């Protein structure tokens, strides 16, 4: 019995300590995945490994001649990897360029010259725009010639001084956006191609904020006929943003078809409350893309596009119509079954609805008028725009998701494909 008291005391002490030990949190599923990801990134596989470049990533002079598109870019990519990236920089912002993020006003003062240039060429408050750097100069020139032929007021936002000089010398309405692109170098977007695509959307938002209707194109997506009559139709007057259809599958896409966010019509001439909602939607998409890039950085240069896609997938909405107002009850299935109609939907929630009694309205464009990549040849008789994508002749060149810039083979094969589809005008 002499040992009973000390033993009882020891048991009590152990029991009093045990709850503290058991209260330590076990790793959550997300934290375990995060730790595994960090280990993978350090492991030297294609997703995480890189070699710091010892030569310039990009040059405009190749030996004794001006570089062909892509020729002056550092080579060495492999399937799923691009080993020639600059070393990571500390202190990079997760916000967009110029601090553009949720709760901040659009930095219009950074785009006064672009707006002034667009106002000089706009007609009826409408302007088409694309962006291009030195490697994309021929694509931008080709795009501009198509716009001129379609009688569409157009401007190119040049992303470096070399592209600006080249395009200006050839009579292309252009603006030197070098400083605007450089502002992205202070953000998490550390590849050139990511910055270029992000800047395209921010420049379009600047034009919307100025009160212009904007048709935002990729330079590979060319106008063929004037779309002004289509977008000016009274039944579309209340629609704020329209984009082409992507994949149509009502079981997978909650609007019936996905949106192809690389071509946008943005109704900046709408009253100020509607214009503000459009700019805020674009800002939210960029914010989402920045987060996606930060967490899933091997997704390549698609991070901003994915931001738009993920933002829309998170929204509640109601269909207003698919096709004519007196048509069948609108639904996702109807939007998928009738791809050559215009589908209109309104977002729900306080974020996208205002005191003016209206909510942000989005529209899916008819696939025959705005066909998906490689869909143009089948509808060339009626299409208002056409696009060709680079053919995958070599499987090892298909998924270079960490690419900094394209090379000359990419541009040569794309130009050949565009010529075959009748979408290349230079030299004709």
In this structure, is residue 113 part of a structural domain?
yes
Q: 290-341, pLDDT tens digit by residue? A: 886 554 555 556 789 989 999 999 999 999 999 998 889 999 999 999 999 9
In this structure, is residue 97 part of a structural domain?
no
In this structure, is residue 14 part of a structural domain?
no
In this structure, is residue 6 part of a structural domain?
no
For the entire predicted model, the pTM comes to: 0.86
Q: 230-259, pLDDT tens digit by residue? A: 999 999 999 999 999 999 999 999 999 999
Q: Mapping DSSP to helix (H, G, I), strand (E, B) and coil, where does residue 415 land?
A: helix
Q: How confident is the model at residue 191 (pLDDT cuts 50, 70, 90)?
A: confident
In this structure, is residue 86 part of a structural domain?
no
In this structure, is residue 395 part of a structural domain?
yes
Q: Using alpha carbons, select from 159, 351, 108, 343 the residue that is nearest to residue 248.
A: 343
In this structure, is residue 402 part of a structural domain?
yes
Here the CATH number for the domain that contains residue 294 is 3.90.550
Q: State the chain's mean pLDDT as an integer.
A: 86
In this structure, is residue 400 part of a structural domain?
yes
Q: How confident is the model at residue 11 (pLDDT cuts 50, 70, 90)?
A: very low
User: Domain range for residue 320?
Assistant: 108-420
Looking at residue 391, its pLDDT comes to: 80
Q: 28-70, pLDDT tens digit by residue? A: 555 555 555 444 444 444 444 556 777 788 999 999 999 999 9
Q: Structural domain tally of the chain?
A: 1
Q: How confident is the model at residue 14 (pLDDT cuts 50, 70, 90)?
A: very low
Q: 105-136, pLDDT tens digit by residue? A: 999 999 999 999 999 999 999 999 999 999 99
Looking at residue 43, its pLDDT comes to: 41
DSSP letters, 70-133, are: TTTBPP--BTTB--EEPPP-TT-BSS-GGG--TTS---GGGGHHHHHHHHHH-BTTEEEEEEE-
DSSP letters, 204-271, are: HHHHHHTT-EEEE--TTEEE-S--HHHHT-GGGTT--EEEEEEEE-TTT-TTSEEE-TTSEEEETTS-
**pLDDT at 279 > cutoff 70:** yes
163: CB partners within 8 A, 6+ apart? 132, 133, 134, 136, 137, 140, 156, 174
């Amino acid at each position: 019995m002499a040992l009973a008291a000390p033993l009882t005391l020891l048991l009590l002490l152990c029991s009093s300590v045990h709850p503290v030990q058991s209260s330590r949190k076990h790793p959550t599923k997300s934290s375990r995945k995060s730790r595994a990801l960090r280990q993978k990134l350090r492991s030297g596989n294609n997703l995480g490994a890189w070699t710091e470049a010892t030569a310039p990533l990009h040059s405009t002079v190749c030996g004794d001649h001006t570089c062909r598109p892509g020729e002056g870019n550092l080579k060495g990519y492999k399937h799923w990897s691009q080993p020639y990236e600059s070393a990571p920089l500390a202190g990079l912002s997760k916000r967009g360029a110029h601090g553009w993020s949720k709760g901040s006003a659009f930095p219009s003062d950074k785009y006064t010259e672009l707006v002034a240039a667009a106002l000089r060429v706009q007609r009826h408050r409408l302007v088409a725009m694309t962006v291009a750097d030195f490697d994309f100069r021929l694509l931008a020139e080709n795009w501009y010639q198509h716009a001129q032929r379609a009688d569409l007021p157009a401007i190119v936002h040049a992303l470096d001084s070399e592209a600006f000089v080249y395009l200006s010398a050839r009579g292309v309405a252009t603006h030197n956006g070098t400083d605007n692109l450089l502002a992205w170098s202070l953000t998490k977007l550390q590849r050139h191609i990511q910055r270029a695509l992000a800047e395209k959307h921010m420049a379009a938002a600047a034009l919307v904020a100025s009160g212009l209707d904007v048709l935002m194109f990729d330079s590979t997506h060319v106008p063929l006929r004037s779309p002004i009559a289509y977008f000016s139709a009274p039944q579309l007057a209340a629609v704020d943003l329209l984009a082409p259809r992507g994949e149509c599958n009502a079981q997978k896409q909650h609007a019936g078809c996905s949106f192809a966010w690389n071509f946008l019509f943005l109704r900046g001439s709408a009253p100020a409350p509607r214009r503000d909602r459009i700019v805020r939607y674009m800002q939210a998409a960029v914010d989402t893309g920045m987060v996606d890039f930060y967490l899933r950085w091997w997704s390549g240069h698609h991070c901003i596009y994915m931001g738009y896609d993920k933002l829309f997938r998170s929204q509640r909405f109601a269909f207003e119509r698919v096709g004519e107002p007196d048509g069948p009850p609108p639904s996702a299935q109807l939007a998928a079954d009738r791809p050559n109609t215009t589908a209109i939907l309104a977002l729900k929630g306080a974020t996208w609805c205002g005191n003016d009694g209206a909510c942000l309205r989005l529209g899916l464009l008819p696939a025959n008028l705005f066909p998906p990549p490689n869909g143009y040849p089948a509808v060339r008789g009626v299409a208002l725009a056409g696009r060709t994508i680079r053919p995958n002749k070599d499987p090892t060149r298909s998924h270079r998701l960490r690419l900094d810039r394209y090379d000359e083979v990419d541009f040569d094969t794309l130009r050949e494909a565009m010529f075959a589809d009748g979408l290349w005008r230079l030299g004709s």
